[in-house]
Amino acid sequence: MTQLRERLAELTDLRHAGQLLGWDQQTMMPAGGAASRAEVQATIERISHRLFVEAETGRLLEAAAAELNGAEPDSDDARLVAVVRRRWEKARRVPTELAAEIARAASLGHEAWVGARANSDFSAFAPHLARNVELAHRYTECLPEFERPYDALLDDYEPGVTSEEVTRIFAELRDELVPLIARVSAAEPVDDSYLHESFPVARQRELVDRVLRRMGFARDHWRLDEAAHPFATSFGCDDVRLTTRWDEHYFPGALYGAMHECGHGLYEAGIARSLQRTPLGHAESLGLHESQSRMWENLVGRGRAFARVLAPLVAELTGRPIEPDALFRAVNRVQPSFIRVEADEATYGLHIVLRFELEQELVEGRLRVEELPEAWNARFAEYLGLEVTDDALGVLQDVHWAAGLIGYFPTYALGNLIAGQLWRRVHADVPDLDEQIAAGELSGLREWLREHVHRHGAKFRMPELVQRVTGGPVQVEPFVSYLKDKLGAVYGLDLHDLRGDTQTRNPQGAESD
């Protein structure tokens, strides 16, 4: 066990070096450093992959498993061996040079994307995307045991989940969202003009700092920087890096972006110290990760209770008072829009369904890269009723495909659903949670999440953790029910009578235990 842990500690260190290289590239690096950075990323991946897939790792795993014979199956050691064994079996099927090339192409692709998005120039980005798709395809060819090539990719971000399950869940979600959006769109529009005034970034930063501190951000363990596409990363629980992006003309963008990333950060910061410097010391399931970020961004940040905290802070920024309920309504306006990360919670799911469909078609050769903008725009018009006339507001808006993250998108929508399930569970466990939040006391929620989700790190795969915490599998109903409550309050409607209400269809929801 000791030798295995030493090797895994070294691999974790390499992972942190690679993450720092990525963080720096997205926040600090001058553009000129891109070519050299891609080589360094490739080398770190090559060395790391080589060390991991060595037969010696397998021998150490065997020895550790023998040593553990009879140990508590949920112990750190037993789970460590199980998780590492699974990853090792997958990684060793992939040639080291392919792994390194994927890292190199991701780094170069990211840099090309920054320029292409700034100039709304898909052609500058297309060759990099084509390269990433080709490499993803070669990667999936190494893993023919997955039922579909796309599933080999999805498994990297959501281990143990298949595209078939996601498709089924998303169909159910879409059946809920479409009539919901239609009903709300027919109602009197919410006034959100208050949100669209201009404020200097330095002033917005004060607001964001105050909100993040309430969430748990502490200057001696966290940073907040700017990035073209906001993200969070951590080098263990004591060094958490958040990013957001600032828009002088729309302060909720930076605020909710930062709350979202801080949700990710709290997850990483909450992982047990006993798991640090091991592969269990970082969360594995991105669905769980997004459940945390989306919960803090939306269920807390755009919630009615937190509006009581936010309204006076926002009034300090704007210099004009605002009633908590007016703020609550404004930040929950439902309106189809172009940018996923700024979408309201009802239309958000459709942005994900669109990406999930397109990336499967790309990877499985049913859609060529050069056809992508047209396919994007056609489907966008179909799902969201808007005509995309600028690729920067369309296919170029997200960094993921540029950075080789194909198979990642579905985890956002899964995260929304899991957040809905956890939200119901925590309210059952902490009956006065809304009062706590309204009083600006967020530690009750944070500590509940730490206890039930964060501290486990990568010990449990998402379906298992969701089962442990909520008593059932991933479900659509709690999220949709939450959303109908919220939008009902925002628009003054009763939305629970809508066709397809899963509360009616699934009366035995596992959350009722």
What is the contact surface with its own copies in residues (CB under 8 A)?
9-10, 13-14, 16-17, 20-21, 24, 28-33, 35-37, 39-40, 42-44, 46-47, 219-223, 235-236, 238-240, 276-277
Q: How far is the CB of 14 from its own copies (least distance, A)?
A: 7
- In what side-by-side order are the strands of the sheet with 222-226? 222-226, 240-244, 232-234
DSSP 8-class letter at 299: I
Q: What string of DSSP letters covers 161-220?
A: --HHHHHHHHHHHHHHHHHHHHHHHHSPPP--GGGGS---HHHHHHHHHHHHHHHT--TT
CB closer to its own copies out of 23 and 482: 23
CB of 113 to its own copies, least distance (A): 17
Q: State the minimum distance, in angstroms, from the CB of residue 281 to its own copies.
A: 10
DSSP 3-state assignment of 454?
A: helix
Q: What kind and span of H or E run contains 100?
A: helix 96-118
Angle value at C-alpha 171, between 167 and 174, nearest 5 degrees: 135
Cβ proximity to its own copies: between 28 and 428 the closer is 28
The string over 128-155, giving b where at least 16 C-beta atoms fall within 10 Å of a residue's C-beta and e elsewhere, is bbebbbebbbebbeebeebeebbbbbbb
Nearer CB in complex with its own copies: 39/197: 39
Q: Is 101 a catalytic residue?
A: no
Nearer to its own copies, 9 or 315 (CB): 9
Closest to its own copies by CB, 9 vs 430, is: 9
The least CB distance from residue 26 to its own copies, in Å, is 13
Q: CA of 108: how far to CAs of 31, 102, 246, 324, 496, in Å?
A: 11, 10, 24, 45, 48
Please identify, using beta-carbon distances, which residue of 283 and 384 lies nearer to its own copies.
283
- Compute and round to an integer the Cα radius of gyration of the chain: 22
Q: What angle do CA 213, 423, 276 make, to 5 degrees?
A: 55
* The token pair that represents 299 in the structure block: 């269920």
CB of 122 to its own copies, least distance (A): 23
Closer residue to its own copies in complex, CB, 10/192: 10
User: CA-CA-CA-CA torsion for 410, 343, 439, 243, nearest 10 degrees?
Assistant: 70
Whichever of 198 and 219 has its CB closer to its own copies, that residue is 219
Closest contact distance (angstroms) between CB of 442 and its own copies is 20
Shortest spacing between CB 16 and its own copies, in angstroms: 5
Residues in the chain: 513
Shortest Cβ 236–its own copies spacing (Å): 4
Q: Looking at 261, 290, 297, 511, which residue is catalytic?
A: 261
Rounded to the nearest whole angstrom, what is the least distance from the CB of residue 420 to its own copies in the complex? 33
- How far from each other are the two terminal CA atoms of the chain, in whole angstroms? 39
Two tokens, residue 4: 């295995």
E strand or H helix at 224, and its extent? strand 222-226
* Structural contact between residues 511 and 472, judged by C-beta atoms closer than 8 angstroms: yes
φ, ψ of residue 18 in degrees (nearest 5): -65, -40
φ, ψ of residue 465 in degrees (nearest 5): -65, -40
> How far is 463 from 459, CA to CA, in rounded Å?
12
The residues, ordered by sequence, that sit 6+ positions from 297 with a Cβ below 8 Å of its Cβ are 256, 259, 260, 263
Specify the residue, 46 or 427, whose C-beta has the smaller distance to its own copies: 46
Tell me which H or E stretch contains 409.
none
List C-alpha distances in Å: 58 to 54, 86, 252, 513. 7, 11, 49, 42
Decide whether 28 or 339 has the Cβ nearer to its own copies.
Answer: 28
Min dist CB 54 to its own copies, Å, is 13
Q: Could you give phi then psi for residue 226, rounded to 5 degrees?
A: -105, 145
Q: Which two tokens stand for residue 202?
A: 């330095």
Q: Which residues are catalytic?
A: 261
